[in-house]
């Protein structure tokens, strides 16, 4: 069983999955997704801009896992004109009948212009949910005011060093679940001494500590790796809990200066 959060459209977003940013289309991507699905991952996050949708789709089909057991996300590249038309093209590359989540990759051109096309993608049955990525609090508010279908997710860079609690809180207030990309700081945070100390004390690895921390903040977390041992390692985050002291030490690594403390409401928001 997977930990999930229920999105505003009623679907269940796994709290853990594989991100495939900067994974080459072809064998590298196909292998990574295959290993992840074999390990038990049920959330795969790609994007038009990653140019590896075809490999993601092939690995999913070849896995033999029923499509409805996998949560598949891709992202609209804001250089495109019409988000609905682009969703159709993504589905063709992915070789799948629907998306679970379709995100605007970043708010280029403003936070609202692409939204009618995103909503049309839902209405056409191309995707179950729609959301945003790399939106700030003001952009969330501007979009929420005009959206008929509210965004379900905001995918943001998030780690103890980028502990963007005011942004997460702004999203939660609008019914938007935050999802953490680059939870390892693209690998840069793995050598931090505080992270290393907590890893040693808990008998886990630095990657597991960083992933677990973000999950305990209620975020869905999508670390990237193309190496099977790491893909397996990153998945092993369901058998331990960081205690309050460890969480506080990790919180202290923040460099954003965001202070709104919405996350003190507790660290178990998932079902
Ligand atoms: P690789 O893909 O070569 O395995 P993030 O998810 O924050 O973007 O971090 C991804 C980076 O961290 C990649 O360079 C990835 O390398 C590396 N990485 C992912 N998982 C681990 C791990 N468990 N241990 C060490 N490095 C990891």
Please report the ipTM that was assigned to this predicted complex: 0.99
- Indicate which residue of 50, 77, 181, 235 is catalytic: 50
Residues of the chain predicted below pLDDT 50: 261-271
Contact 263, 172 (CB under 8 A): no
- Asked whether residue 60 is domain-assigned, the answer is yes
The domain of 40 spans 4-256
Distance 190 CA to ligand 1 centre (A): 9
Question: Ligand 1 within 6 A of 234 CB?
Answer: yes
pLDDT tens sequence across 228-244: 999 999 999 999 999 99
What does the DSSP assignment read for the chain? Answer: ---EEE-TTSPEEESB-EE-TTPPTTHHHHHHHHHHHHHT--EEE--GGGT-HHHHHHHHHHH---GGGSEEEEEE-TTSS-HHHHHHHHHHHHT-S-EEEEEESS-TT-SSTTHHHHHHHHHTTSEEEEEEES--HHHHHHHHHH-SSPP-EEEEE-BTTB--HHHHHHHHHTT-EEEEESTTTTTGGGG-HHHHHHHHHHTS-HHHHHHHHHHHTT-EE-----SHHHHHHHH--SS----HHHHHHHHTT--S-----GGGG-S----
Q: Is the CB of 78 under 6 A from ligand 1?
A: no
For ligand 1, whether the C-beta of 157 sits within 6 Å is no
Residue 2: per-residue pLDDT: 76
Domain count, the chain: 1
Tell me the C-alpha distance between 209 and 263, whole Å. 18
261 in any annotated domain = no
Residue 244 lies in a domain: yes
Q: Is residue 152 part of a domain?
A: yes
Query: How far, in Å, is the centroid of ligand 1 from the Cα of 152?
Result: 27
Residue 267 lies in a domain: no
pLDDT at 43: 98
Question: Is 50 an annotated catalytic residue?
Answer: yes
CATH code assigned at 58:
3.20.20.100
Q: Which atom of ligand 1 is nearest to the CA of 222?
A: 6
pLDDT of the residue at 258: 76
Q: List Cβ neighbours of 254 (8 Å cut-off, separation of 6 or more).
A: 160, 161, 162, 163
Q: Residue 226 CA: which ligand 1 atom is closest?
A: 2
| In a domain? residue 266 | no
How crowded is the C-beta side of 150, counted as CA atoms within 13 Å?
A: 16
Q: Is 204 annotated as a binding residue?
A: no
In the prediction, which pLDDT does 262 show? 41
pTM: 0.94
What pLDDT is stored for residue 199 in this prediction? 98
CA dist 126 and 90 (Å) reads 10
Q: Does residue 216 form part of some domain?
A: yes
């Amino acid at each position: 069983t997977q930990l999930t959060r229920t999105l505003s459209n009623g679907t269940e977003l796994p709290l853990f999955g594989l991100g495939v940013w900067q994974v080459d289309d072809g064998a590298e991507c196909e292998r990574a997704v295959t290993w992840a699905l074999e390990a038990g991952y049920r959330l795969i996050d790609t994007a038009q801009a990653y140019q590896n949708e075809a490999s993601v789709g092939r690995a999913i089909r070849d896995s033999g896992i029923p499509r409805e057991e996998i949560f598949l996300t891709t992202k609209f590249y804001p250089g495109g004109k019409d988000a609905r038309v682009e969703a159709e093209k993504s589905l063709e590359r992915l070789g799948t009948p629907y998306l679970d989540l379709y995100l605007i990759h970043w708010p280029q051109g403003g936070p609202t212009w692409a939204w009618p096309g995103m909503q049309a993608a839902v209405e056409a049955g191309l995707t179950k949910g729609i959301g945003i990525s790399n939106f700030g609090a003001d952009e969330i508010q501007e979009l929420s005011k005009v959206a008929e279908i509210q965004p379900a997710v905001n995918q943001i860079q998030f780690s103890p060093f980028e502990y963007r609690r005011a942004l997460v809180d702004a999203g939660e207030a609008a019914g938007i679940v935050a999802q953490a990309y680059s939870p390892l700081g693209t690998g840069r945070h793995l050598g931090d001494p505080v992270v290393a100390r907590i890893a040693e004390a808990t008998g886990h690895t630095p990657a597991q500590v960083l992933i677990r921390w973000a999950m305990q903040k209620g975020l869905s977390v999508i670390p990237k790796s193309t190496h099977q041992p790491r893909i397996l390692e990153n998945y092993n985050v369901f058998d331990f809990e960081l205690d309050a002291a460890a969480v506080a030490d990790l919180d202290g690594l923040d460099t954003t200066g965001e202070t709104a403390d919405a996350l003190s409401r507790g660290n178990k928001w998932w079902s």
